[in-house]
Amino acid sequence: MTTAIKTVTSGKTTCPYCGVGCGVNLTLPRSATEAVPPVSGDVDHPANFGRLCVKGSSLAETIQSDDRLLTPMVDGQPVDWELAIETVSAKIAQVIKDHGPDAFAFYLSGQILTEDYYVANKLAKGFIGTANVDTNSRLCMASAVVGYKRAFGSDTVPCNYEDLELCDLLIMVGSNAAWTHPILYQRIAAAKKQRPSMKVVVIDPRETATCDIADLHLAIKPGSDAAIFSFLVSDSAQAGILDHDFIDNHTTGFDVALAQANESTPNLSFTAGFCEISAQDLERLASWWRNTAKTVTFYSQGVNQSSSGVDKCNAIINCHLATGRIGKEGAGPFSITGQPNAMGGREVGGLANQLAAHMDFATPGAQGLVQRFWQAPNMATENGLKAVDLFQAMEEGKVKVVWIMSTNPMVSLPDTAQVRRALEKCDLVIVSDCKAHTDTTAMADVLFPATGWSEKDGTVTNSERCISRQRGLLPAPGEAKHDWWAICEVAKSLGFQEAFSYQDVHEIFAEHAALSTFENNGKRDFDIGHFSQITQAEYDALAPVQWPVPKGKSEGTKRMFGDGHFFTPDGRARFIAITPVLPKSQASQEWPFTLNTGRVRDQWHTMTRTGDATSLAKHTAQPYVEIHPKDAKRLGIKDKALVRLTSLYGEALLKAKVSRAVAPGNVFAPIHWTQQFANASVISNLIPQVVDPLSGQPESKHARVQLEAVSDICYGLIVSAVPLVLSDCLYWCQVPSEQGCHYEVVWPNGQTQASLKSIDVEQNQELAEKIEWLEYLNPVTQQMRLAKLVSQKLTLLVYLHPQPEAIMADWLISRLVINTPLSVKDRLAILVGIPANIEDKGEIVCSCYQVGSKQIEKAVESGICSVDELGDKLKCGTNCGSCLPELKRFIPSVAELSV
């Protein structure tokens, strides 16, 4: 990055990762050549009060990337912005003329800012005339949105983060918050520590780090959640804990919903059987529910990513309405959002089945209202295509131009083979991204270089409706431009100059605020009219605030529905009758395993940002599949061995992680690895395009797969001074490392020699003469080690072993860069693989202080018996605290100690 540094030296901004939305202090480097100093948490931000998790703490490491997209590209050639904009707008104009506006689509992301979202939505729905504006949020919280709208008449999150600390019972459903919303999890853990009577229940088929604070873990049959909440409604009626005043005065539909609940889940033992849990455990939950008015149900992707995700959300909401546990301190149904600005997207209406500003196409008068406000020449009149339908229409040739912004559908949409076919068929694929190389930029005809976090300016809304600023403190690299700017330039080039001539981003925010309050008069929940005249200076100084912020209420709104008024036509909340059903994809003889997918602690999505932070790669270096020991034994799969997963749609190669955290018959795999990091581990290859009929959200948590051990192979580790092309490998995974390149590989037996030749083509004749090979073969273990020295310096090291092995890659890599000839001792050590005087840390558990499992085990063996003592000795867990649940597992329980 070469551009000059601005005069400001530091500023407050918001973390670009999860929906907790923590405030971050960013300090600028003193010169363009210096590294960005580590960030810190903003003590004034109401989401985190100064704390950051491990991803947030590592943000500075991810800013200066070598793989930034620095210039617009058309058909693989760098061009200037003018030509790129012209190319795009000419094609859009022609396609609209020939095929109508619905041949164009935006595919956006909960990671763009509200202002970017607003102009994209306005351009498509008011000016081009299509509602084909969908987003990766479809894969994330679409079911939660529809659930809220069915119940409340509006997409309103009732609760706030304080409620998580104030409640007496917290039910966490389908959420691994310890890893995915770490700062909220830490707030919950701290509240529970202070008030041990507070109960936490985790409902998840898998045992996760979140279970660490659970008083009760219900490892239910995958997808059976709705039955639990259906049962809680009928049980509440039987136990006489219904809030009749609330039901009578503020809701409709209770009798029908209760009758359905009684029929679907007639009693405790039926429900426990349906969910495959013990009746005692279910009774424990039910009795806590009966006796605890202050209950929050906190739910995430284990609920939303389901073919009946909306019903599951409403089953949860029904329980809260029936007992009046909503709109009060420490009570409510709390859908937690994943992305930093999934909420902002919902607010502008950036989904294909929304119009704008929390209005739908079907909202009476809404189309006219928005048309008048925008002075729009070509209003869309009906819902557009939801993500999966959109890519299917693309494959059918109906959508001919797609503009993908800030998302990587080649990795995140289900059935990536279909996504590839769709993008191949599409006449013009425009991709706006910060990175040059992603699985999706590889499919683009036109690339727009985007500014990223720390460079771009705007607002995001977190899970508790809190709007806060992301501030552009660093200069844009190369020709990168803000997303809103690129959208407005295309709009102007299409002839819509007047409506898109914003001088600065605060003008977009002001317009968004003005629309939210336009002819609102309390009819719509989303009203931030207070900001409709906001000036640049006020916008720059904007402090975090929770919407609604109508005119005259500048302090915002902490909690919703305290007055029992809802945004339905009659002002009452609606009960929805629910029939619990299981996932569409059920295991069968041919496809005996249920594949569950999700996240790991230290990676974010498709690793385009976290993959740059080498410290974050240490926690989980390679893609894996978690498999129960019984299944592993039956299939002859050893820990760390290569496994092939196959579904009807594709396959993936992953390393086995044999663990009792998953139940027999279930496997779990993380979603993060792309073809940029591993050749054959994209998990969405295996997921069918099965969606919830109401929300269109894919059932990404449940796929049917087969599993097999890959045999006749040899495992390898390669460290190299330069990047290698590993085309001959069956499996390769590049593990981010500080220097050089680190690959984990697998070759078919017998192919190794040929493959080694293919990666080691030394073109330079002069150098070739200075090459020296060190070789070592252990005839007993069949382990082979090869080291290539050029002028006595190590440049390439290959370890081959018939079984998977944990090798101290870090130390080997560090030998690559010493610029002096290798000592005799090191020559020996690299072939043995273990340096004489360096401690093997094992797998890294604490990323902040790089403390590994072997160090922790040693400390525990020496008599340490609490996490606090571990922290005193090794510092692990004393910074961001993200590893605390894992650290606890190293500490022997009282029972174990007494054996």
Ligand X SMILES: Nc1nc2c(c(=O)[nH]1)N[C@H]1C(S)=C(S)[C@@H](COP(=O)(O)OP(=O)(O)OC[C@H]3O[C@@H](n4cnc5c(=O)[nH]c(N)nc54)[C@H](O)[C@@H]3O)O[C@H]1N2
CA dist 314 and 295 (Å) reads: 16
Residue 250 is a binding residue for ligand X (CB under 6 A): no
Give me the phi and psi of 784, to 5 degrees please. -130, 140
Binding mask 693-712 for ligand X (x = CB under 6 A): -------xx-----------
Q: Nearest residue by C-beta to Mo ion?
A: 338
Please, what's the b/e burial string for 602-633 (b: 16 or more CB within 10 A of its CB; e: otherwise)?
Answer: bbbbbbbbbbbbbbbbbbbbbbbbbbbeebbe
Judged by the rule CB under 5 A, the positions of this chain that interact with Mo ion are 140, 338
Number of residues forming the site for ligand X (CB under 6 A): 60
Give yes or no for a contact between 74 and 445, defined as CB atoms under 8 angstroms apart: yes
Choose between 61 and 389: whose C-beta lies nearer to ligand SF4.
61
List of long-range contacts for 59-62, beta carbons under 8 Å, 24+ apart:
59/15, 59/16, 59/24, 59/26, 59/453, 59/454, 60/26, 60/35, 60/36, 61/612, 61/613, 61/614, 61/615, 61/616, 62/609, 62/610, 62/612, 62/613
Structure tokens at 217: 């873990």
Choose between 344 and 452: whose C-beta lies nearer to ligand X.
452
Candidates 46-54, 223-231, 577-585, 869-877: pick the segment binding ligand SF4 (CB under 6 A).
46-54
Residue 713 is a binding residue for ligand SF4 (CB under 6 A): no
Q: How far is the CB of 17 from ligand SF4 (least distance, A)?
A: 3
Burial of 727 (C-beta count, 10 Å sphere; 0-12/13-18/19+): exposed
Q: What is the DSSP letter of 126?
A: I
Give yes or no for a contact between 417 and 689, defined as CB atoms under 8 angstroms apart: no
Task: Work out which of 126, 153, 182, 544 binds ligand SF4, going by CB under 6 A.
Answer: 182
Residue 308 is a binding residue for ligand X (CB under 6 A): no
* Binders in 483-502 for ligand X, by CB under 6 A: 483
Closest CA to 555 of 546, 567, 563: 546
* Sign of the dihedral through C-alpha 356, 361, 364, 370: positive
Residue 411 is a binding residue for ligand X (CB under 6 A): yes
Burial of 59 (C-beta count, 10 Å sphere; 0-12/13-18/19+): buried
Q: Give the CA count within 13 Å in the CB-facing half-sphere of 383.
A: 15
Q: How far is the CB of 14 from ligand SF4 (least distance, A)?
A: 8
Secondary structure (3-state) at 393: helix
Give yes or no for a contact between 160 and 464, defined as CB atoms under 8 angstroms apart: yes
Following CA atoms 530, 531, 535, 541 in sequence, which dihedral angle do they give, to the nearest 10 degrees? 100
Closest CA to 717 of 788, 656, 829, 800: 800
CA dist 159 and 173 (Å) reads: 16
Q: How far is the CB of 379 from ligand X (least distance, A)?
A: 26
Candidates 143-151, 402-410, 526-534, 716-724: pick the segment binding ligand X (CB under 6 A).
402-410
Residue 53 is a binding residue for ligand SF4 (CB under 6 A): yes
Cβ neighbours of 338 (radius 10 Å): 24
Task: Work out which of 477, 598, 650, 881 binds ligand X, going by CB under 6 A.
Answer: 598
What DSSP line would sit under 527-555, residue for residue? Answer: --GGGTT--HHHHHTPPPEESP--TT-TT
Residue 520 is a binding residue for ligand SF4 (CB under 6 A): no
Choose between 407 and 752: whose C-beta lies nearer to Mo ion.
407
Task: Work out which of 79, 124, 434, 741 binds ligand X, going by CB under 6 A.
Answer: 434
Q: How far is the CB of 236 from ligand SF4 (least distance, A)?
A: 33
Give yes or no for a contact between 288 and 214, defined as CB atoms under 8 angstroms apart: no
* 687 contact, one of ligand X, Mo ion, ligand SF4, none, CB 5-8 Å limit per kind: ligand X
Burial of 635 (C-beta count, 10 Å sphere; 0-12/13-18/19+): middle
Candidates 125-133, 217-225, 321-329, 863-871: pick the segment binding ligand X (CB under 6 A).
217-225
Task: Work out which of 45, 55, 68, 785 binds ligand SF4, going by CB under 6 A.
Answer: 55
CA dist 844 and 670 (Å) reads: 18
Number of residues forming the site for ligand SF4 (CB under 6 A): 14
Choose between 183 and 428: whose C-beta lies nearer to ligand SF4.
183
Task: Work out which of 11, 46, 56, 350 binds ligand SF4, going by CB under 6 A.
Answer: 56
* 598 contact, one of Mo ion, ligand SF4, ligand X, none, CB 5-8 Å limit per kind: ligand X
* 48 contact, one of Mo ion, ligand X, ligand SF4, none, CB 5-8 Å limit per kind: ligand SF4
Choose between 339 and 520: whose C-beta lies nearer to ligand SF4.
339
Q: How far is the CB of 54 from ligand X (least distance, A)?
A: 9
Cβ neighbours of 166 (radius 10 Å): 18
Q: How far is the CB of 135 from ligand X (least distance, A)?
A: 9
* Binders in 327-356 for ligand X, by CB under 6 A: 338-339
Q: Give the footprint of ligand X on this chain (CB under 6 A).
A: 18, 109, 111-112, 136, 139-140, 173-177, 179-180, 203-206, 208, 222-223, 225, 300-302, 305, 338-339, 405-409, 411-412, 432-435, 438, 450, 452, 456, 483, 596-599, 601, 603-606, 608, 671, 683-684, 687, 700-701
Q: Give the footprint of ligand SF4 on this chain (CB under 6 A).
A: 15, 17-18, 20-22, 48, 52-53, 55-56, 181-183
